[in-house]
């Protein structure tokens, strides 16, 4: 689809917003109605069309000429049975995202994201690091996912296939997210994903990097949104803050030799409509190493992979660990 087809005018946005506040019969037909200036979009948590429009406005900007930058930052913890959870790194996520409306009223969510790691003591972004779990000096590999796309519609999207490794295909379900109210002026939303699929890093080829034959990955998102922003049809992007938690195998470059345990990311996330506020060292690293990531994609590309699949395609297995 070309950019002209995906571009929405302000009138289009107002029409869609007004639709979200109509009765069930109009929503079923997905027919827009004209919203007057100053109209409010009522919260309709139980309506898939309202959920679609709200999610597109939270993810990016329904004016596809505009993009939104995402940030997340926090602590990366090592989790081993029988031991205290141990913070071992900090991290920063930087992403650029655009949504493009389709003829069927769905949106293509088009995104790129990078993740950098910081020394837990100095807070400096690192390229080499001494793994405190093994005392081995290792090369740190940035996460660079381009693209990471999915469709926002009135139905939940299929789980990511990760290049065909994840074959889970649940039945279609109406797109009804878990929303809530914290008082009269604050909206909350939670979105979770739990995956278990064959690892791209199989032990026979990647004995040092592999988590085992299967990858167990979960992500938990919690959003906090101003109600007045969500109800304002003039806001084509609705800002949010929240928390992001990711449960994932050991990072492959940690060279854990399939040791028991896993990683736990715990961070704060937010969206930005400019690059103001991005940590200067993160922005400089993006500009130097990943300048393409400063701009969100404009067209759909395949495949959308996770960092583990990218690692398997871009890196080579490490040699056996040297004897002490």
pLDDT in tens, 130-182: 999 999 999 999 999 999 999 999 999 877 666 677 777 778 899 999 999 99
Rounded CA separation 239/227 (Å): 11
Rounded CA separation 305/307 (Å): 7
Residue percentage of the chain with pLDDT more than 90: 79
Extended strands (E) in 132-213: 136-139, 143-145, 150-152, 178-181, 186-198
Q: What is the pTM of this model?
A: 0.85
Residue 11 has pLDDT above 70, yes or no: no
Q: Give the mean model confidence (pLDDT) for residues 36-59.
A: 90
Model pLDDT, residue 4: 35
Q: What is the DSSP string of 120-152?
A: TTT--B-SEEEETTTTEEEE---EEE----EEE
Which residues on adjacent β-strands are paired with residue 122? none
pLDDT in tens, 55-81: 999 999 999 999 999 999 999 999 999
Q: Give residue limits of the domains in the chain.
A: 3-314
Residue 309 has pLDDT above 60, yes or no: yes
Residue percentage of the chain with pLDDT more than 70: 86
Contact 113, 93 (CB under 8 A): yes
- pLDDT mean across residues, the chain: 88
Model pLDDT, residue 162: 63
Model pLDDT, residue 304: 86
Q: Give the mean model confidence (pLDDT) for residues 196-207.
A: 95
Which helix (H) or strand (E) segment holds residue 64: the answer is none
User: 310: which 2 tokens?
Assistant: 């990218």
């Amino acid at each position: 689809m070309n950019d002209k087809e995906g571009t929405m005018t302000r009138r289009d946005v107002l029409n869609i917003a007004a639709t979200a506040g109509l009765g069930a019969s109009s929503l079923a037909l997905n027919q827009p109605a004209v919203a007057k200036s100053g109209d409010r979009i009522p919260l309709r948590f139980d309506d898939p069309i309202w959920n679609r429009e709200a999610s597109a406005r939270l993810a990016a900007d329904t004016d596809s000429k505009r993009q939104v930058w995402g940030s997340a930052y926090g602590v990366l913890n090592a989790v081993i049975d029988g031991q205290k959870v141990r913070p071992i790194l900090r991290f920063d996520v930087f992403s650029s995202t655009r949504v493009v409306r389709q003829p069927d009223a769905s949106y293509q969510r088009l995104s790129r994201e990078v993740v950098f790691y910081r020394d837990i003591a100095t807070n400096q972004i690192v390229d080499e690091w001494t793994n405190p779990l093994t005392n081995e000096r290792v090369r740190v590999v940035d996460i660079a996912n381009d693209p990471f796309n999915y469709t926002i519609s009135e139905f939940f999207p299929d789980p990511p296939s990760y290049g065909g490794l994840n074959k889970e295909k649940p039945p279609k379900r109406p797109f009804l997210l878990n929303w809530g109210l914290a008082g009269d002026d604050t909206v909350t939303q939670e979105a979770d994903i739990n995956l278990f699929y064959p690892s791209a890093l199989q032990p026979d080829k990647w004995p040092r990097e592999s988590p085992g034959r299967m990858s167990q990955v979960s992500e938990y998102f919690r959003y906090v949104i101003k109600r007045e922003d969500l109800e304002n049809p003039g806001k084509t992007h609705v800002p949010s803050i929240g928390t992001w938690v990711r449960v994932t195998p050991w990072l492959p470059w940690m060279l854990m030799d399939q040791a028991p345990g896993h990683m736990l990311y715990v961070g704060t996330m937010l969206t930005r409509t400019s690059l103001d506020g991005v940590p200067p060292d993160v922005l400089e690293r993006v500009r130097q190493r990943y300048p393409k990531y400063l701009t969100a994609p404009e067209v759909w590309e395949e495949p959308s992979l996770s960092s583990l699949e990218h690692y398997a395609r871009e890196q080579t297995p490490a040699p056996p660990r040297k004897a002490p």
